[in-house]
Structure 1
């Protein structure tokens, strides 16, 4: 069974490599063709060309605008003929877009699974990601065996749009926790303590978490090469703000956390791993010590 795969950023490339290692025959497409060629797998000329040769496509791009272009734009999937085919969108999307994409593809006789991923490069390499899936349950069951090749936990959550809502709720916690860890470590360093000691204490106390576990090496080595970028978490929190507003709900923290990443973007950190936020707080001073 040949499967299409679109989007070879840091996480997409890790998932594609994992699927290939697990025996899935892939046909790739990426906006920057060189990134696709690096994997040594067949590469299509366009999304339209790709969908004409497969029955299902996995898609993971930067945001809903990019997803819309790939699916519905010029030379997009729909121009290659999507009737009877399944598009599995692992992008962290705006929840309203995920619902709209499902409805638009249904009109064309195609199927859309809203399937955002929890986790980043390291769990992807180990096949330990978590996926949230919304859409037709029958199509979820048809594709579950493929999800099992790179995901440890798989949640079917009902209609399309639900998975994106849950992913945004998760990333409210993710962004907030990275922000408070970064703030605590930076303030601790400014107070005269070594980062190694601070991380050890947080790991043994209130900061103990999966996030600190996977970011510990980066924080200690000051290595901010991207696994999950400032740009991405900022985008996700912007989508989460829309969700909170549309629900008529209220958050005391979301806007402030999003603004921390917005400032990091403004200062040129957008393309770095979001753990770089610790360096932002070291630069922010209200007065000279």
Structure 2
């Protein structure tokens, strides 16, 4: 436990809300801001019932006024720009020597730009996207991949520990976001294979529970298999990490790969499949709903057959 600090947390979504609560339970003095008043009221009520004393600000700048560290967890590049660099953004109020740590999954370009703007004001910056989903945030078991200077990393590490399972300093500014892109590409590829495997087992008339038992103890085992096999076989997708957000993340990954001169055909194909699920109204479903797109003989928008054998 680090000494109690004055902390601002901007963004009380399914991730940011639980993370803010963990900071208060760890003894820090926390001020929160959320753009949606309805969601802010929900968390205010929830924390009051728990006995947590968390203040609320009317703007990001107001939340950041006295903060030693400002954490941000919003939606995308534009959202992050709005709460940090706009007229009432946190950088207008943060004092020299404070720290800005961003948990939003954004582009590496945005992370580097924000770090440059912060450092010009004498503020340390860290891009620190997370993996682990809502359950990881609630249970304090997030994996955090970080980019920034050593000094920023060490200042943030002990504070973030209250909601982290692992914290890794990957490299300079933008490196945390690039690592998160790699994370999302891995998940997309695994879910593609898992979806096709479940379809094969179903079509062959196998007992799906026994099939899972048989293959999950070997080299095919993965987090997605252990946590999504049964829900995918039961056609249950109304939970978890939304396809809308996964497509945003994969877009960043594909853009960065293109910038680096790389081809990413597997990621691009899965992204196309997710676009079809969105078009069918499944954008808020869990990423495992990819299996609904891989129905027998269903074409992608480019005409590629998901099932080449019909």
TM-score computed with the length of structure 2 as normaliser: 0.84
**CA–CA separation in structure 2 for the residues paired with 1:217 and 1:44:** 42
Contact 2:8 2:69 in 1 (8 A): yes
Show the 5 A alignment for 1:42-57: 42-57=55-70
1:155 is displaced (CA, Å) by 0.9
Counterpart position of 1:259: 272
| Structure 2 residue aligned with 1:32 | 36
Q: Tell me, yes or no, if structure 1 residue 188 matches structure 2 residue 176.
A: no
Q: Secondary structure at the match of 1:149?
A: helix
Q: What is the aligned-residue RMSD (CA, Å)?
A: 2.3
Q: Matches of 1:75 and 1:283 in 2, distance apart?
A: 51
* Deviation of 1:194 (Å): 5.7
Deviation per residue, 1:70-120 (Å, 9 max, x gap): 111242112334433211001111011111111111112222101111211
Equivalent residue number for residue 178 of structure 1: 191
- Give the Cα separation in 1 of the matches to 2:120 and 2:269: 40
Higher-Rg member (1/2): 2
TM-aligned CA distance change 1:217 to 1:88, over 3 Å: farther
Residue 146, structure 1, aligned to residue 150, structure 2? no
Q: Aligned residue pairs: how many?
A: 288
> Distance between the aligned counterparts of 2:296 and 2:35, measured in 1?
36
2:17 is the alignment partner of 1:13: yes
Query: Which runs of 5 or more residues in structure 1 are unaligned?
Result: none
Change (3 A) 1:246 1:38: same
Aligned partners of 2:13, 2:188: CA distance in 1, in Å? 20
2:104 aligned with 1:100, yes or no? no
Deviates more, 1:31-40 or 1:238-247: 31-40
- Counterpart CA distance in 2 for 1:46 and 1:186 is 49
Give yes or no for contact 2:66–2:94 (8 Å, CA) kept in 1. no
- Call closer, same or farther: CA 1:206–1:32 in 2, change over 3 Å: same
**What CA distance in whole angstroms lies between the structure 1 residues aligned with 2:237 and 2:194?**
15
Aligned to 1:270: 283
Structure number with higher relative contact order (C-alpha < 8 Å, ≥ 6 residues apart): 1
Change (3 A) 1:19 1:35: same
Cα distance in 2 for residues equivalent to 1:261 and 1:33? 31
- Distance in 2 (CA, whole Å) between partners of 1:284 and 1:8 is 41
Using a 3 Å threshold, how does the CA distance of structure 1 residues 150 and 104 change in structure 2: closer, same or farther? same
For 1:161, the equivalent position in structure 2 comes to 174
Q: Give yes or no for contact 2:196–2:294 (8 Å, CA) kept in 1.
A: yes
Unpaired runs of 5+ in structure 2?
48-53, 300-306
How far apart are 1:217 and its partner, in Å? 5.1
Q: What is the CA distance between 1:276 and its match in structure 2?
A: 1.6
Q: Deviations over 1:151-182 (max 9, x none)?
A: 12111122101111111112110111112212
Equivalent residue, structure 1, for 2:98: 85
How far off its partner does 1:146 sit? 0.9
TM-score when scaled to structure 1?
0.90
SS at match of 1:91: coil
Is 1:234 aligned with 2:238? no
C-alpha contact 1:129 1:153 (8 A) present in aligned 2: yes
**Structure 1 position 280, deviation (Å):** 2.4
